Amino acid sequence: MEIQKVGVIGAGQMGNGIAHVLALAGYEVVLNDVSQQALDGAQSLIHKNLARQASKGKISEAEAEAALARITLSMKLADVGATDLVIEAATERETVKQAIFEDLLPHLRPHTILTSNTSSISITRLASRTDRPERFMGFHFMNPVPVMQLVELIRGIATDEPTFSACQEVVARLGKTSASAEDFPAFIVNRILMPMINEAVYTLYEGVGSVKSIDESMKLGANHPMGPLELADFIGLDTCLAIMNVLHDGLADTKYRPCPLLTKYVEAGWLGRKTERGFYDYR
Ligand code: CAA
């Protein structure tokens, strides 16, 4: 099964990065969103990030231009259906994702592989609501997509081998490394990363350290590229909370209890960089 054309649903933080790397690797990409403004914003961000890579000599100007030309923007799900692989990268809410798949199904070609970039939601459950659970799986990129080397590939209970190997091949063509994960809450990266971030928020909540001392401790004491609170702001505090809730509900263990301070920030609308306020103030 050769993948040539890929549909990406959602032009936000993850979706634009996914479209960027796919186009750079030579895939034709249909980038879809319900908002034209989001699509235009994604296109100019991809342009800016490709130009940054070209100015650093990582890619040529011609490669950057060709990549941009391979991305078609569309608000119609029918355009996404006419592809070989769909990567859904919409908001991390199960109802939103399920509604998208439901609307997409009538437009899909029989052979199209359906995937979700979900960072924590059950692949088996998402797949069960489609007409192709055997051709459904998790395709989880890390943020920022053009920089991070890993893609988690998650098999649902029904995912077949040709589907898994087709996705593995795509990851290899992107020049990235795939890690295979079983379908349990938050898979591998977020199962380990989010409790650490949550613990950093507890460390702040209990007054053990300040935002600055917590982040500096982990950067200089554990060689992390970003402190955990800075990273939480980067990922989005709403996403961090949603993942902690998936772990807490799915594994029924109090060790995954979201820190009340994290909940409070989300309730305040302080979601990190995207709202210009989180543990840091970006205004
Ligand atoms: N597109 C293209 N290139 C980009 C980019 C983007 N969006 N963002 C950064 N870069 C490039 C820069 O151009 C730079 O390239 P060079 O090395 O060639 O100079 C390189 O990345 C480093 O960027 P900066 O110099 O601007 O900044 P930095 O050195 O502080 O690194 C960082 C930034 C790569 C984000 C680094 O801080 C980092 O690795 N942070 C941790 C990120 C992380 O943990 N991500 C995973 C989050 S968890 C997740 O995603 C899973 C989930 O489901 C929530």
For residue 268, what is the domain's CATH number? 1.10.1040.10
DSSP designation for 277? B
Give the position, in ligand 1's atom list, of the atom nearest the Cα of 240.
54
* Whether 243 and 263 share a structural domain: yes
pLDDT of residue 115: 98
Decide which of 163, 182, 201 is a domain's last residue: 182
* Whether 60 and 84 share a structural domain: yes
Does 204 fall in a domain? yes
Strands 5-9, 177-182: pairing is: unpaired
b/e 55-92 (16+ beta carbons within 10 angstroms → b): eeeebeeebbeebbebbebeeebebbbebbbbbbbbeb
Residue 105, classified by CB atoms within 10 Å of its CB into exposed (0-12), middle (13-18) or buried (19+), is middle
Smallest CA separation from ligand 1 atom 21, residue: 147
User: 6 — phi, psi (to 5°)?
Assistant: -125, 135
Does 283 fall in a domain? no
* Whether 11 and 67 share a structural domain: yes
Does 280 fall in a domain? no
Give the position, in ligand 1's atom list, of the atom nearest the Cα of 144.
7
Is the Cβ–Cβ distance between 187 and 138 less than 8 Å?
yes
* Whether 63 and 200 share a structural domain: no
In this prediction, residue 92 has a pLDDT band, given cuts at 50, 70 and 90, of confident
Query: Measured in angstroms, how far is the CA atom of residue 148 from the centroid of ligand 1?
Result: 7
Smallest CA separation from ligand 1 atom 14, residue: 147
Is the shortest distance between the CB of 207 and ligand 1 below 6 Å? no
Could you read off the pLDDT of 108-151 as tens digits, one per residue? Answer: 999 999 999 999 899 999 999 999 999 999 999 999 999 999 99
* Whether 48 and 156 share a structural domain: yes
| Model ipTM value | 0.92
Q: Which amino acids are annotated as binding site, given as ranges?
A: 10-15, 33, 92, 97, 119, 143, 274
Catalytic residues: 119, 140, 152, 190
Beta bridge partners of residue 31, listed in sequence order: 8, 73
* Whether 225 and 121 share a structural domain: no
Query: Measured in angstroms, how far is the CA atom of residue 224 from the centroid of ligand 1?
Result: 12
Q: What's the chain's length in residues?
A: 283
pLDDT of residue 17: 98
* Whether 126 and 199 share a structural domain: no
Domain that holds residue 219: 190-274
What's the CATH code of the domain at 152? 3.40.50.720
Smallest CA separation from ligand 1 atom 9, residue: 147
> Domain count of the chain?
2
Does 20 fall in a domain? yes
* Whether 159 and 207 share a structural domain: no
Whether the per-residue pLDDT at 1 is higher than 80: the answer is: no
* Whether 74 and 146 share a structural domain: yes
Decide which of 140, 159, 182 is a domain's last residue: 182
